[in-house]
Amino acid sequence: MPEPTSSGVAGAAAAYKAIGGAAGAAAGGATLAAVVVMLMTPPRNVREWTVGLISTVVSSICGGAITIEHFELHHWAFSSIGLYAMGGVIFACGLPGWAVVRWLFNFIDNHRNASIDEVAKDVKELM
């Protein structure tokens, strides 16, 4: 029977190969962004935690992909250091995701009983 430590490392290496380097960078960056955001702005309940996790991961992956595409950073995927940098871009793009979603839901909650005219007026005043 193999040692748990060595078989765990082998399993992690196999998983990294299976999902690919770029996907690993995306998953790592999105996960770290979600952890940082949850620690800095603790959710008030389980629903808010779930929404925060989903919005952070989606904004990490989508925002990171848009940023990498816009600045044509695809060549980073072909080196180890470049993959780390891509993970950093993905991480940074996820940080504002939870804040934006939280602000939006707080605005909606504050205007729950307002008419569409009142909401439109408040939005116009904000801009």
Task: State pLDDT tens for residues 69-98.
Answer: 999 999 998 888 888 888 889 888 988 888
Which pLDDT value is given to residue 2?
Answer: 52
In this structure, the number of other CB atoms found within 10 A of the CB of residue 65 comes to 15
Which pLDDT value is given to residue 63?
Answer: 92
Query: Considering the domain boundaries, does residue 86 fall inside one?
Result: yes
CA–CA separation, 54 and 60 (whole Å): 10
Query: Considering the domain boundaries, does residue 81 fall inside one?
Result: yes
**Exposure letters 88-111 (e unless 16+ CB within 10 A, then b):** ebbbebbbebbbebbeeeeeeeee
Total structural domains in the chain? Answer: 1
Q: Is the pLDDT of residue 5 over 50?
A: no
SS3 59: helix
Query: Considering the domain boundaries, does residue 117 fall inside one?
Result: yes
Q: Where do runs of H (alpha helix) occur along the chain?
A: 4-19, 21-40, 46-70, 80-110, 116-126
What residues make up the domain containing 53? 20-126
41: alpha, beta or left, given left = phi > 0 and alpha = psi -120 to 50? beta
Query: Considering the domain boundaries, does residue 5 fall inside one?
Result: no
**Average model confidence (pLDDT) for the chain?**
81
Query: Considering the domain boundaries, does residue 8 fall inside one?
Result: no
Query: Considering the domain boundaries, does residue 30 fall inside one?
Result: yes
17 pLDDT band, cuts 50/70/90, is: low
Q: Is the pLDDT of residue 16 over 80?
A: no
Query: Considering the domain boundaries, does residue 13 fall inside one?
Result: no
How does pLDDT run across 106-119, given as a tens digit for each residue?
Answer: 898 899 999 999 99
Query: Considering the domain boundaries, does residue 38 fall inside one?
Result: yes
